Chains A and B, each alone.
Chain A
Amino acid sequence: MPESAYQPFEPARRPGGKPQRKPAYRVLVHRRYAHLWAELPQRIGLESAQQFYDHVAFSPGTVSPINRTTLLAGKAGRPWADGFSRTVHYEISGAGRINYQYNDAYTYGATGDAHRVVVILTIELASH
């Protein structure tokens, strides 16, 4: 008897786009900009918001293939704590600018396990 493709105990494929992978980096936002993070899908579009999240959640240290990234100069570009990168400036064409840093071995409170983290320092969105 030929093997059926139907596997009753496996979940069906997610409809629509590609399935979500587990993020490689925890993504944190500065409290002063948490409200703008919540508004991202409405302000810059869901696709752009997800593109940014996927960029920082999986490869924050690489050059974005879609949007422009630059390292800030001077003191504004310095790591805010040991192990963090310089400040990366991510520009969403005509819609917004986000500054973030990342750390490949961050230990929260100096007691937890080292893990990868991205901290979003500031968010600037274009006016309506």
Chain B
Amino acid sequence: MAESAVIFQESDLHLRGRVVLDAARTGEARLRDGDGLSLLVIPEHRFRSAMSIVQATANLMSVEQMLDTAPEQWSVRDYGDWTWLRVFDSEDLTEFVHEMRTALLVAAREGSDKPVAETLERWQLTAQQLADPVRRSILLGVPPLSEEDFVEVARPE
């Protein structure tokens, strides 16, 4: 995003507050404090989204580094904030990394953390389903499922 050409001064906050706010609402407002420090006012959702993308990138890099080592060396710290990933094996984690890279790319380009949040939500939901041993066994097909494993049911009455 291109930097704003207008730099507001401290006095503009009092004399032209509405103009400063409108600049911030539509993109960004650059302010120069009395000591020369440059400040940036942007919509909160843009800041939170950017921070979320940065945080996710750091977590992803940690998981990627972990995948470069043998599974026996993996520690819960390697998952960063995503400790729930520990239920997945290396094959699933590789798929997760691939999906997250795509989500982060779209999020960064479009300035919204929504693709990242959606991807994380889907994987976290899956991790929750795999946490139970019986569900895990059936969902992963270990042992393989067969037709005899199922019974027909009718509409609940």
Interface residues of A (CB under 8 A from B): 20, 23, 26-32, 34, 37, 40-41, 46, 49-50, 53-54, 57, 70-78, 80-81, 87, 89, 97, 99, 108-109, 119-122, 124
Q: A-side binding surface: helix, strand, loop or mixed?
A: mixed
Are B140 and A76 within 8 A (Cβ)? Answer: yes
Are A30 and B156 within 8 A (Cβ)? Answer: no
Are B147 and A109 within 8 A (Cβ)? Answer: yes
B102 smallest CB distance to A (angstroms): 13
A123 smallest CB distance to B (angstroms): 9
Are B139 and A99 within 8 A (Cβ)? Answer: yes
Are A72 and B156 within 8 A (Cβ)? Answer: no
State whether A122 and B155 are in contact (beta carbons under 8 Å apart), knowing that A29-B150, A75-B92 are contacts in the complex. no
B156 touches which of A41, A80, A108 (Cβ 8 Å): A41
- Give 13 pairs: A residue, B residue, CB < 8 Å, sorted on A: A28-B150, A29-B152, A31-B149, A31-B151, A41-B157, A49-B156, A54-B155, A73-B125, A74-B126, A75-B140, A97-B129, A119-B150, A124-B135
B123 smallest CB distance to A (angstroms): 5
List B contacts of A26 (CB < 8 A). 152
Size bracket of the B interface: 20 to 34
Residue B58 lies at the interface, judged by CB distance under 8 Å to chain A: no
Closest A residue by C-beta to B128: A97
Closest B residue by C-beta to A48: B156
Closest A residue by C-beta to B121: A70
Residue B37 lies at the interface, judged by CB distance under 8 Å to chain A: no
Closest A residue by C-beta to B130: A76
Are B95 and A37 within 8 A (Cβ)? Answer: no
State whether A76 and B139 are in contact (beta carbons under 8 Å apart), knowing that A70-B122, A70-B125, A122-B129 are contacts in the complex. yes
Residue B132 lies at the interface, judged by CB distance under 8 Å to chain A: yes
List A contacts of B139 (CB < 8 A). 72, 75-76, 87, 99, 121-122
List A contacts of B125 (CB < 8 A). 70, 72-73, 89
Are A53 and B156 within 8 A (Cβ)? Answer: yes
Are B153 and A32 within 8 A (Cβ)? Answer: no
Are B155 and A28 within 8 A (Cβ)? Answer: no
Are B95 and A73 within 8 A (Cβ)? Answer: yes
B122 smallest CB distance to A (angstroms): 5
State whether A72 and B129 are in contact (beta carbons under 8 Å apart), knowing that A32-B134, A80-B145, A124-B135 are contacts in the complex. yes
